[in-house]
Structure 1
Amino acid sequence: MKRILPAAAILCAALAVSCAGNREAEISESGLDRAKFRTVVDGKPTDLYILKNAAGMEVCLSNYGARIVSVWVPDRKGDMKDVVLGFDSIGAYLAARNNMGASIGRYAGRIAHGKAVIDGKEYEFPVNNNGHSMHSGPDGFHTRVFDAVQKSPSQVAFSYRAADGECGYPGNFDVTVTYTLTDDNAVDILYEGTTDKTTIVNMTNHSFFNLDGDPNRLNTEYVVWIDADRFAPIDSTCLTTGELVPVEGTPMDFRTPAAIGARMGEENDQLRYGGGYDQTWALNAPGDAGRPCASMYSPHSGIRLDVYTTEPALQFYAGGSLNGTVTGKKGIVYNRYCAACLESQKFPDSANKPQWPSSVLRPGETFTSRCIYKFSVEE
């Protein structure tokens, strides 16, 4: 359980937080009240950090989970829209304990049966999804308070030390997640980390994108493109099988842009297991962050999202498990297929599948990963 301190302690801690001159903006352009994000959780102050660029775009973030809270971009009419799901206060995030917008770690995705062998020793991790460990269990990085330094009006860095043994993982892992909002409307996310003991690391951002700025509108008309000839099939528990199979002739083929809902009704085991799309694609240009690996576009709003990454894989999740039990910003209920995720990462369960790119990090090495979410408008 997260421990929230009395009001006097909250005030003192909040006054001690450095926001590099950003205190004057108490209400964000997207309508978020910073006061509702200021408290103390597990002895550490939380706050809302506001990034702006010369083009008028705004991104709001919280150091609780080093997460994106809002992304404020123009649609084709020039009207500004908040295109990610989330909550209006830190209290709502604490109550929900979900991963919306969060930096996922120490290991994103599923690890089979919550077990992996690292340097000849078996480690066990919290099991929380169909008998597997998902996103490092219920107490992963999405529930941790990061230290924050706002370096400029367009950049903030969140840092955290995951202690040796936290969530079962070996090694003290020191990680920094730096968000930079560029003047060409891109959210550039850089992960950097080191360890003092051999461990495994796989990090991603878990933003749920609704490109209409209206979660009451479903994503089934969004047009998706993924630069991948192969994908990683899952079994009935949503665990990767270890294969990489061609997308050719399957609903997983997004090499030609297609609407999310165009083939979700087909009789297909992968769609049935994932409740729609919830698979990993093997990118055709792994490691190349200079070219887009995927895109998603809303014909209704005209907002387009392009994804760039240094990672070898992309998880595309169409929001099939959203079920109307969560009420988010502005009192809107989040129903099935109201948003979608594009998560750059290593292959899930790669710790147990040596045929895939390694997720092992050793002392003296630096874990680095980069994901860029770039927004634009199509007429």
Structure 2
Amino acid sequence: MKKVCLAALATLFLAVSCTEKAPVGKLTDSGLDKKNFETEINGKKSDLYTLRNTSGMEVCITNFGGRIVSIMVPDKDGKMKDVVLGFDSIQDYINIPSDFGAAIGRYANRIGNGTFELDGVKYDLPKNNFGHTLHGGPKGFQYVLFDATQPDDKILELTYLAKDGEEGFPGNLKSKVTYILSEDNALQIKYEAETDKPTVVNMTNHSYFNLDGDPNVKNSDWLLTINSDKYTPVDSTFMTTGEILTVEGTDMDFRKPTTIGSRIDNYSFIQLKNGNGYDHNWVLNTNNDISKIAATLESPKTGIVLDVYTNEPGIQFYAGNFLDGTVKGKKGIVYQQRAAVCLETQKYPDTPNKKDWPSATLRPGEKYSSETIFKFSVKK
């Protein structure tokens, strides 16, 4: 009798264990269905990968474009909020042009007139933004399928080989993006690359953050701080002019916590007119020291705070000015103008054509290494 009971208990325990490990039809905490991200693109399979820590934070990522699809973090009342914009299925990411959550490459931001010269050789790139090349071109890394490896529930490794001449860039570029979730609610993103020919590399993450966890709410009341005394102004085509100007006495001064909406529509200031709001690169005071905070975003409503750290010299603050109500995102919510904020760590825009700025050149035998940390906390 005892042996029968033990056998029955063992069978029950095994059944329960298997059910807990892989429950049928279970959605992610953010409400995503893994099956909606499973398809085949050019002979490779797309999927949805989930990172979790014991604090309850969850990050969902698809290997299509290395995109962060959702980030669940607690608010000041302990309620979990999804704080990034995105789509519910891989088909929307494929069919609707966007940069939501993407790992941007080979060159993030803009390259002027879609051309640059390196070692006396001129390279022409496809132009996809006001006569310039934006975010690696129309078929940049945000639209490729990375190979994925998930060693454990807190790490995801994505790799991609960009071939010589892809989107006009020289060199076979072996690239790697690693996402690491810590127990203290920090998402670390590491970018690495190697090339067999001199090239330019500038990778970043293009997540659209909404710290209210409600895309129906605009970003006007959120507080932003940028650890920067200077910025790179742009012309009417969003291209950097080559100047580096002080933020002192201007609407670009975020050295103290400032509500985003307090000045964003002041188009009498030419930079806000040129950028259609904030869409500029700030020159960081951090001196490539990742232990120093580059920027802080805070929602007074939810108490959610996002601190950004990086070893890069610049950060692009983009206020979602071109969201226009034509795109439906997760849960069918329409994304209106300025429903989110992007904080893209980077080399300065158009660095290949601005020789005095921090170089983006990568040569054979060298290793490109860039790092960003998105650290979440709560202010009660």
TM-score (norm 1): 0.93
Residue type at the aligned position of 1:170: P
Work out whether 1:323 is the aligned partner of 2:335: no
- Contact 2:290–2:310 (CA<8 Å) still a contact in 1? yes
- Contact 1:286–1:313 (CA<8 Å) still a contact in 2? no
Structure 1 segment 223-372 matched on structure 2, within 5 A:
223-266=223-266, 267-372=268-373
C-alpha deviation, 1:67, in angstroms: 1.1
Q: Distance in 2 between matches of 1:240 and 1:76?
A: 39
Q: CA-to-partner distance for each residue in 1:149-207, whole Å, 9 max, x for gaps? A: 00110000000000000000000000110000100001100001100000000000000
Q: Distance in 2 between matches of 1:124 and 1:259?
A: 40
Q: 1:22 to 1:116 in 2, by over 3 A?
A: farther
C-alpha deviation, 1:285, in angstroms: 1.4
Work out whether 1:204 is the aligned partner of 2:204: yes
Q: CA-to-partner distance for each residue in 1:121-168, whole Å, 9 max, x for gaps? A: 000111011110111111000000000000110000000000000000
Runs of 5+ unmatched residues, structure 1: 1-20
Q: CA-to-partner distance for each residue in 1:203-256, whole Å, 9 max, x for gaps? A: 000000000110001110000000000000000100001111000000000001
Find the counterpart in structure 2 of residue 4 from structure 1: none
- Contact 1:315–1:341 (CA<8 Å) still a contact in 2? yes
Question: 4+ runs of 1 displaced by more than 6 Å?
Answer: none
The alignment covers a number of residue pairs equal to 359
Q: Distance in 1 between matches of 2:97 and 2:186?
A: 27
Residue type at the aligned position of 2:306: L
- Contact 2:171–2:195 (CA<8 Å) still a contact in 1? yes
- Contact 2:48–2:61 (CA<8 Å) still a contact in 1? yes
The alignment partner of 2:50 has SS state of strand
TM-score (norm 2): 0.93
Q: Distance in 1 between matches of 2:379 and 2:183?
A: 18
- Contact 1:175–1:191 (CA<8 Å) still a contact in 2? yes
Q: Distance in 2 between matches of 1:264 and 1:227?
A: 19
- Contact 2:286–2:293 (CA<8 Å) still a contact in 1? no
Work out whether 1:150 is the aligned partner of 2:141: no
Q: 1:22 to 1:233 in 2, by over 3 A?
A: farther
Q: Distance in 1 between matches of 2:54 and 2:355?
A: 45
Say what the alpha-carbon RMSD is for the aligned residues.
1.1
Find the counterpart in structure 1 of residue 53 from structure 2: 53
The alignment partner of 2:150 has SS state of strand
C-alpha deviation, 1:286, in angstroms: 2.6
Identity score, percent: 53
- Considering only CA atoms, is the larger Rg found in Structure 1 or Structure 2? 2
C-alpha deviation, 1:61, in angstroms: 0.1
Q: CA-to-partner distance for each residue in 1:251-292, whole Å, 9 max, x for gaps? A: 000001100011113221110111110000000013110111
Q: Distance in 1 between matches of 2:183 and 2:21?
A: 18
- Contact 1:285–1:293 (CA<8 Å) still a contact in 2? yes
Find the counterpart in structure 2 of residue 181 from structure 1: 181
Q: Distance in 2 between matches of 1:182 and 1:93?
A: 27
C-alpha deviation, 1:97, in angstroms: 2.7
Q: Distance in 2 between matches of 1:300 and 1:99?
A: 27
Find the counterpart in structure 2 of residue 168 from structure 1: 168
- Contact 1:37–1:62 (CA<8 Å) still a contact in 2? yes
Q: CA-to-partner distance for each residue in 1:352-376, whole Å, 9 max, x for gaps? A: 0001000000000000000000000
Q: Distance in 2 between matches of 1:90 and 1:97?
A: 12
Work out whether 1:110 is the aligned partner of 2:110: yes
The alignment partner of 1:113 has SS state of helix
Q: Distance in 2 between matches of 1:96 and 1:87?
A: 10
C-alpha deviation, 1:305, in angstroms: 0.3
Q: Distance in 2 between matches of 1:296 and 1:239?
A: 25
Runs of 5+ unmatched residues, structure 2: 1-19
